[in-house]
Every structure is written in C-alpha cells, then in structure tokens.
Amino acid sequence: MSTPLTSTSIKSTPIKSTHSKSLAALTLGAIGVVYGDIGTSPLYTIQTIFSASTGIALTQANIIGAISAVFWALMLVVTLKYVTLVLRADNRGEGGIMALLALAVSTAKATPTRQKMLLALGVFGAALFYGDSILTPAISVLSAIEGMQLIAPNLSQFVIPISITILIALFMFQQYGTNTVGKFFGPIVIVWFAVLGAVGLYHITKNPIILTALNPLYALHFLADRGTGVFLAVGAVTLAITGAEALYADMGHFGKPAIRIAWMCLVLPGLALNYLGQGALLLANPAAVSNPFYLSFPPSLLIPAVILATFATIIASQAVISGAYSITQQAIQLGFLPRMQIRHTSASESGQIYVPAINWLLLIAVIIAVIAFQNSSAIASAYGIAVTGTMLITTILTYFVLRHHWKYPLWLVLGATSAFILLDVLLLASCSVKFFKGGWFPIALASGLVVVMWTWKQGREILLQCIHQNDPKLEDFVTSLANNTKARIERAAVFLCRNPDTVPQALMHNLKHNQVLHQTNVILTVAFAETPLVALDKRLQISEMGAGFWQVVVHFGFMENPDIPKALTQLALGNTTLDPFTTSYFISRETIISGPGGSMAKWRDDLFAVMSRNAGSVVSYFNIPSNSVIELGSRVHI
C-alpha cells in the first residue's frame, strides 16, 4: 500500500527574479524592448487618419479632433487600462495572455462550460498575438525605410529589399537574448523619445492652439461628426495604441515598476508631444499630410531622422518578438503546443528566453507579409484586427480573474472592465471594416493556429487514453512483485510516465523483452502548475510503494526550465540516493498511426501525427543526459 504523497524539500539556490536587478537597469531594458512598438506609431498614425481611405477632410476642427482622439486613446487604453489595471492581473509576476488564461481557467474548474469558453478565448487571443508579432516588424520597418523616398524618389525601388535585409539581421540578433538587446537598444530608444518630444514641442510653440486637443470634448465631437464613417476614423486612431499588449506580455522580463516608470516618465510625454506637434504642423501646412512625421523635421535633419527612425523601428519589433517567445513557452507547458527547444539567455532572469523555431518561422512569415503587402499603408489595414482582438480577449479574461480569482465585488469588477470591453468592441468593429482590404490576414492566421493548438491538446488527451486504457494499475503491479524472486540489477531506474496510476509502458516493455528489474525503481511524473514558478519546497512529492518502487511527482511552473536530473539530485529514497552516473532513464516513444473512426477527423489525426513526429526530444527538453537514456518504442492507433 502506498503512503500518502508528501512534499520533499530540496536545498538549492532560489530562482532569481527581476527584483535582483536595479530598477534603473530594468527601466532601461523596458524602454529598449517593451516600448519600441508603440513608440514608432507616430510614423504612420496621423498620415493614415487623413489618408484617402478614411475620407476625413483636412480642416482645423478635424485636425484638433483627431489629435484629441489619439491622445485620449493613449490615456484610456494604455495608461488607464494596461498600465493601471491589466498589469495588476499578473500570474506571480508573469504577464501575457497565456499567463492570464491559466489564472482565469484555474477559477473555472467546477464549471466545465466556462472553462472551455475561457480556453477557446485564450487560445484565439494567443493566436492573434502571433499575427501581431508578424505584422509589427513588417509595418514598422517598412514605414521607416519609406522615408528614403522623401530624400530621393528614385530610391523607392530599394525600399522592400532594404527592409527585408534589416528584418533578417534583426531576427538573427535575437539569439543573444532580451537582456543584451535591451541594453544595446535602450539608449537609442531614449534618444528616439527625446527627439519625438523635442520636434513636437517645437511645432507646438509655433501653433499653440493645438493644445486645445487635450480637451476630450474635441475627440467626442470629432467622432460624432463622422457619422457612419466613425469606424474608419476609429480604426485609424487604433494605430496609435498598437504595442500596448506587448508591454503586458513582456511584464515577466522587466517587472511592473520598470514598465510603469518608463511609460509615465518618458514614453507617454514623448508620444503626446509628438502627436500634438504633428497636429500643429498640419494646421500651419496642410500639404504636410503626405508624411507629417518626416516633414516635421527641417530638411537638413531629414537624413538623420530616417536613420534614427530605422533604428527605432528595428527596436519596435523586439517587443512582440520577445512576447511571442514567452507565449510559446507558456503554451508548451500548458499543453497547447508540442515541445520545442527553448534557450534561456540570462543566468539571473528566468523569463528571458529564445525559441529558435518560433524565431525563424516568424522571420519567414514577416518576409512574406512585406512582399505581399508592399507598403506600410496596406499593412495598416490588416494590423488593427490582430491588436484589438487580443486587447478585447485580455479584458474579458481580466474580468474573470478579478471577479473569480481575487474575489473583488461585482460592482467594482464591472466598473473596472465593462467600459474597457465596450471600448475594445468599438476598436475591433472599427478595424473589421477593412476585413477585405487585408484584415482577413491575421484572422486567417489565428484560425489556423487555433486549429493547430487545439489539435495538439485534444490529440494528446486521446493518445494518453489509448496508451493507458489497458495498462495494469501500478499499485496492483507492485503488490504482485512482493514475492517475486526475479533477479534484480543493483542500480536505479527512472521510468517517465504521464499517468502516475498505471504501469509505465517502458517498464512493461523492459520486463517483456529484457526480463529484468532494477533494485530501485522510480516512477516519475512531471506536472506543470498553472503558476509561473513552483517553490523549491513544493518541487517534489514522493510515495514509497514497496518492493523497491517509489512514486515521484516533479512540479514545475509554466515559465520554468524543466530540469529533471537537477530536481532529483537530493532526492532520498529511504537509504538510497540516486547516483547521476549510474541511474538509467527509461522513456517510451510512441509512433502515432492515424485511422478512420477516431475521436478527431482523419485530417486532424494526420496533423497530430506529423506534429508528434516533429516534436522536440523529451530527453533534451527535460535536460536528461543522453548517455543515460533507454528509449522503448510502441505503435499507437488513434
């Protein structure tokens, strides 16, 4: 009879958090990584608002109203919603839609219908974020390089080749890690925001009437005067807040204080002054609407402005790229994606990672987007849906976390989230007007990714059911060995299994073919928690079953690097300890055979089989020494 599972303490060095660094260094890194995306929105936002596609006349009332709408979008969506509210909804310091999903789903275990609804919402939101991660580098770099055409119109033919070259260099640089990227790019972004503010302030002093745009009534009158065209106007204004979701996704990299300080002290003032300055320029010179950002610079400074903007847009891509890495790791640990190689790029910051497969897939997709759309204006039509869709889902999940996880009063939760949900619905509806002009791209991409993620999760559940449906119970199996006189090897064996209640397939195969048992047998199950990190005193649970068998559960958080040998280093099993040099790890590898009549459609079975064959190795994923592993295969029909 097995004894109750008990926690086993491990003496080890605690995982360091972002608090181990100085706040100044974290703030610099946040400026260099988190705010590059939203910081480059002035390149194209005002130009898009007054483009021919919106039909907004270039009058004084419209200019002041549009700038007012942009300013209050920054205040309401970024400052109030994300910086003030959403950053509170962290999962033990980690942010992003998958971390928020884990928190929300943990409150709905007693209500399966709500749990499925939240899972569907969260997975679709994560898929939309991947679309954002593709479109942001494309639109940012293209919009900067297009400034060359103002210097020399005959350079227009080189815009796409130069953009693609810069993007390739950017993605190749990712392997050096977020910390390195942040330190390198942070000072450049500080200069960028300082220049934004200085140029804007210069034009404000020339035409101070633009300061009336700080009155929110001008924004309301501007939108009300649009009539049925209000959706086109709001869709264009949305471009000013792209990148807000990235600051939440990257929270685990830098922490809430650094992100908030950077926004309030540098980013918001720089953006606000620049948008006001562009409005002042248009009031004085309506012809500058062809490119109000670059034309706000004196001709002698145009070339340095293009160069600085190019650096800034390269940096802008960093926020969503690093966010995509974090979401991928979380999705793997939560069971929505197959195992992939994950490199930790910082010895002190557990959240700073690099995922090679995602990096190169994003690069390919970004290059395809650049070639397909050709210019930043075309991408702008597709851009908004990915951003606003993710924002809406984030707000909905935040409601469930505030209400059901932290038990805030209903009136307070509704007051905090309902207005933002209505605003997000308006933003999403406005961007959806351009569905057939490119907006279909992120929706199609997200839908495809949802199918992939849901197929993997459902396929794994079906696979485990098929594998273990006829397996003998582990407790009965161990009891039957009590009087067994079979010779045993004087070594320890660790059998990895997903179901701790049944006999591992690898153990059954080893007995069948090799007719041997080890003196010490550890039945090991890895469990991923719905929290980013697991305390070291909660890492292991052990249960002695008798006959030389021990049942061990190793707990990891969904943001941790699962290292099994390290976790087992100080595991004591009675009078026995595991010698890392003599312990053998037995792993079962399944070959998936799809056939008709399964729980999923045949094409989904085939998709799952392909994903399973190409999933990362269990050995490398759990950091098990390859020379200590014995793999035993089996064919499974699903």
Any idea where the domains of the chain sit in the sequence? 21-438, 472-637
**Residue pLDDT, tens place only, 85-121:** 888 777 666 777 777 887 888 777 778 788 888 888 8
DSSP 489-504: EEEEEEEE-S-TTB--
Number of H helices, E strands in the chain: 25, 11
Q: What are phi and psi of 180, to 5 degrees?
A: -65, -45
pLDDT tier at 68, thresholds 50, 70, 90: very high
Task: Quote the CA–CA distance of 397 and 5 in Å, as a whole number.
Answer: 34
Sheet holding 6-8, edge to edge: 6-8, 540-546, 549-556, 517-528, 488-496, 584-593, 629-637
Hey, which CATH number is domain 21-438, 1.25.40, 1.20.1740, 3.40.390, 3.30.70? Answer: 1.20.1740
Task: Quote the CA–CA distance of 381 and 387 in Å, as a whole number.
Answer: 12
The first and second tokens of residue 585, run together, are 């790890």
Least confident residue range of 194-198, 446-450, 464-468 = 464-468
pLDDT for 351 = 54
Sign of the dihedral defined by the CA atoms of residues 411, 414, 417, 420, in that order: negative
Q: Are 552 and 525 in contact (CB under 8 A)?
A: yes
**Residue pLDDT, tens place only, 127-170:** 888 888 888 888 878 877 877 777 777 777 888 898 899 889 88
Residue with tokens 């608002």: 49
**Residue pLDDT, tens place only, 607-617:** 888 888 888 77
Task: Quote the CA–CA distance of 477 and 455 in Å, as a whole number.
Answer: 33
Least confident residue range of 56-60, 345-349, 366-370, 506-510 = 345-349
pLDDT for 177 = 66
Sign of the dihedral defined by the CA atoms of residues 423, 429, 433, 434, in that order: positive
Task: Quote the CA–CA distance of 337 and 130 in Å, as a whole number.
Answer: 13
Least confident residue range of 185-194, 337-346, 361-370, 618-627 = 337-346
Selected residue with higher pLDDT from 154 and 182? 154
pLDDT for 1 = 35
Residue 19 has pLDDT above 50, yes or no: no
